Chain A
Amino acid sequence: MDKTKYCNEVLARVEELMYQELSGMAYWKCEFVGVDFIRSQKILGSTVPEIVESCAAVMKAEGIVSDVAYKTGGDGVMLKLTVQGCMHHGKEAHVKKEGVRPYICPIANMVLDQIHEKLKYTTSYLTKIAIDEERNRCLLYMALYETGDMIGHVTDWLKDDEDREWLESQGSQILAAADRKKKE
C-alpha cells in the first residue's frame, strides 16, 4: 500500500468537502492541520529564520519535503517558503481536479505554529499558496505579525522576487470569483 497516496486521498476529500460547505472561508479555518507532528518534535530557535530552519530540518529528515528555502522581507512581515518535493503534492492534484484551489498546507501550518508557539507572535496569516507542478515545488507567502503594530504596514513583497512573473500568472485564493468573471 502506498501510504502517502492514501493519506493524500483522505486529506483531499476533507479539503474538497470543507470547500463545498464553507467556500473560500475554509481557507482560514485550517491552520491547525498538520501541527501535531511538529509539536511532537524538538524545534529550537529564538528567531524566525532559526525556527524555519529547525522545522525544515525535521521535515526533510522525515521525508515530508525534500527541501525548503526561505526568505524574509516586508520589514519582517513577509516569510516566503519555497518547498521542493512535498509529500502532499498528490493531495493538491486531487483537489485541483475538483476545481478547488488547494488551500490546506500542512507545511506552512507547521512553520507558523512553531513561530506562534516559540516566539509568541501576535498573529499570522498564510496569504498565498502557489503550486508549481512542473517544477515539483510550492511557493508559500505568509504574513507574520510579531506585534499588532505591524498590521497595516504595507510594502511590495514582490518587488525583487524572482518568482514574480510566474506568481502573477497563478490564480489567487481571494480573487477566485474575480478571476472566474474575467474568464467568462
Chain B
Amino acid sequence: MNGQEFLDVLTSRKSIRRYKPDPVPDEMIDMILEAARWAPTGENYQPWRFIVIRDQETRNAIGDLSKQGSGSRMTSWYCLNELQQRFEGIEDPEKRAGVLEFMYSGRVSEFCKQAPVIFAVIGDLQIGSVDVPYDLCAAMENMILQAHAMGLGSCWVYGPVASTRDAIRFKKILGIPTGFGDFKVLSYLAVGWPKEQRKHPRPKLPLEEMVYWEKFGNKERP
C-alpha cells in the first residue's frame, strides 16, 4: 500500500451509528484487537485493556446509560437556549427541530443497542506510565481504522462515561474496579456492518487554517 492508498483509507472513514443486525465474525474482532495492540504507547507500557461486549442485555444497559448521559446534558442546554445556538447553521426549521430532538432526547448516543459488538477501552492506571489516556486514544484510533479497512462501520462514543458518576455506573455494569486509582475508562467503540450511507466527505478545514510553519501563527511556508 502506498501513501495515497493509506490516505484514501483515512479520508473515506466516517462515524457510523446505524448497523445491520449481522454479527461481526470473530476473526474480524480479533483483527480489530490486534490493531489496538500495535498502537504507540509510552515506554511500551501497554496499559490498555479491552472488554468485548456482544451480550444484548449489557449493550442495552450501556445504551441506556449513554442516552441518559447525553440526554441529561442536552435537555438542559436546550432549556437555556444554548443547544439551539449550536445548530443554528441548519436552515430548514423542520430539519433543525428534528436534529435537536434527536440530541436532547439522548437518542444520539443510544445506538450501541443495535451494534453487534462494542469494545470498552479502559486503561490500567497501576500499569501505565504517564500516558494512559493518550495511549488509549491511540489504540482507539487504530481500532477504528482497522474496522473501516475491513468494511465495518464504527463510532467512538463518550456519552456514558462523560460525567464521573456515569463513569462509575459504566464500570459497575462491566465489573471494572471503581477506585479512582484503578482504571481509566476512555469510552467505547461500537462496531457493525454499516446500514447508513452518509454523505462524504463532511466539510474539513483547509490545511492553511491549521498549519503554522516554524512558529505559532506563521502560515507562510518558508
Report which A residues bind B (CB closer than 8 A).
Answer: 25, 28-32, 74, 77-78, 116, 122-125, 127-128, 141-143, 145, 148, 150-158, 172, 174-175, 178
Contacts and interface: CB of A to CB of B under 8 A. Distances in A.
19 contacts: A28-B163, A29-B164, A30-B164, A31-B163, A77-B75, A127-B79, A127-B80, A141-B80, A143-B73, A143-B76, A143-B79, A151-B72, A151-B106, A152-B71, A154-B104, A156-B81, A157-B80, A174-B86, A175-B82
B82 A174 contact: yes
A125 B73 contact: yes
B16 to A, nearest CB: 23
A74 B75 CA distance: 11
Interface of B: 64, 67-69, 71-73, 75-82, 85-86, 101, 104-106, 162-166
A134 B146 CA distance: 54
A154 B82 contact: no
B68 A123 contact: yes
A99 B64 CA distance: 36
A31 B80 contact: no
Contacts of A28: 73, 162-164
B164 A31 contact: yes
Given A29-B164, A31-B165, A125-B163, 15 more contacts: A77-B75, A78-B79, A123-B68, A123-B72, A125-B76, A127-B79, A128-B80, A143-B75, A148-B64, A150-B75, A152-B101, A152-B104, A155-B79, A174-B82, A178-B85
A151 B79 contact: no
B78 A154 contact: yes
A131 to B, nearest CB: 16
Contacts of B71: 151-152
